Amino acid sequence: MSHARDDEPPMGLREQKKRRTLLDLCMAARRSTVERGLDATTVDDIAKAVGVSPRTFFNYYETKMDAVVGPVGEIGTPELREQFRAGGPSGILIDDLTWLFALGFEPESEVREGILLVTEIIKTEPRVLAAFIASGVRLESAIGELLSARLGTEVSSEFVALTAGLTTTITSRAAMSLAGDPTGSLATAIRDHCAMAARLFDRPADQKRRRVDDHDG
């Protein structure tokens, strides 16, 4: 399946519909896998849940496993990727990347549900976990291109792999933290988790300042 190029114009209605179908098939595949298990889930079930034909399904995914994994190599939309490459929206690299990765296109509630579904699936379906690990190459490639464009220099594969791991971990943990709070904001949870991760790199002076700020607050 081909992916959108960064130099393409903003999504038209047709492209938005295709993107919506791509995501709907992914969510249907994940929901069915949680409810029935991977083996009992069929392409027909997934297609029917979305209201398309099995033939249409294969226009988007080659297998039901591909649908469960989803469009891993697609991060945001062309417009949002351009905003990221230009240094936005916040100017803080990890904040902006997690924003683009998790909230670049889909509704926030759907992103959260998708992550929680995957968390449930990999507990009982080692094959799905293996598929996600294998798909990491596509994710790292997409993240590497974005980082190089934003920083203006080719980044190392080690930096890309570390960034991809941090991004997925922060996003997943943020979503899991909201499991008991359906009204909570994933965007806020992601920012909070980015801030927690930053504390791991505090120098002693930073730690002292935090304690003073916490006491004053």
CATH number for the domain harbouring residue 58: 1.10.10.60
How far apart are alpha carbons 67 and 69 in whole angstroms? Answer: 5
Residues 32 and 58 in one domain: yes
Residue 217: predicted pLDDT: 53
**Is residue 1 included in any domain, yes or no?**
no
**Is residue 60 included in any domain, yes or no?**
yes
End-to-end, the C-alpha distance of the chain in Å comes to 52
**Is residue 213 included in any domain, yes or no?**
no
**Is residue 216 included in any domain, yes or no?**
no
Residue 9: predicted pLDDT: 42
Residues 40 and 101 in one domain: no
How far apart are alpha carbons 111 and 189 in whole angstroms? Answer: 13
How far apart are alpha carbons 26 and 19 in whole angstroms? Answer: 11
Residue 208: predicted pLDDT: 60
**Ramachandran region, residue 6 (left: φ > 0; alpha: ψ -120 to 50; beta: rest):** alpha
Tell me: the pLDDT tens digits for 14-51?
877 888 899 999 999 999 999 999 999 999 999 999 99
Domain boundary pick from 23, 45, 68: 68
Query: Which one, of 186, 157, 185, lies nearest residue 170 by Cα?
Result: 186
Residues 118 and 51 in one domain: no
CB neighbour class for 113 (10 Å; exposed up to 12, middle 13-18, buried from 19):
middle
- Tally of domains in the chain: 2
For 41, the enclosing helix (H) or strand (E) is none
DSSP string for residues in 139-164: HHHHHHHHHHHHHTSPPPHHHHHHHH
Which of the residues in the chain have pLDDT under 70? 1-11, 73, 103-106, 206-217
**Is residue 127 included in any domain, yes or no?**
yes
Burial 152-169 (b: 16+ CB within 10 A, else e): eeebeeeebeebbeebbe
| Alpha-helix residue ranges (DSSP H) falling in 86-185 | 93-103, 108-124, 126-151, 157-177
**Is residue 21 included in any domain, yes or no?**
yes
Instruction: Write out the residue range of the structural domain in which residue 150 sits.
Output: 72-202
Residues 77 and 159 in one domain: yes
Residues 28 and 122 in one domain: no
Phi/psi for 214 (5° steps) reads: -65, -40
How far apart are alpha carbons 17 and 6 in whole angstroms? Answer: 19
Residues 96 and 192 in one domain: yes
Structure tokens at 59: 């226009």
Domain boundary pick from 30, 48, 68: 68
Residues 158 and 180 in one domain: yes
How far CA 162 is from CA of 3, 101, 123, in Å, comes to: 24, 15, 24
**Is residue 212 included in any domain, yes or no?**
no
Residues 175 and 120 in one domain: yes
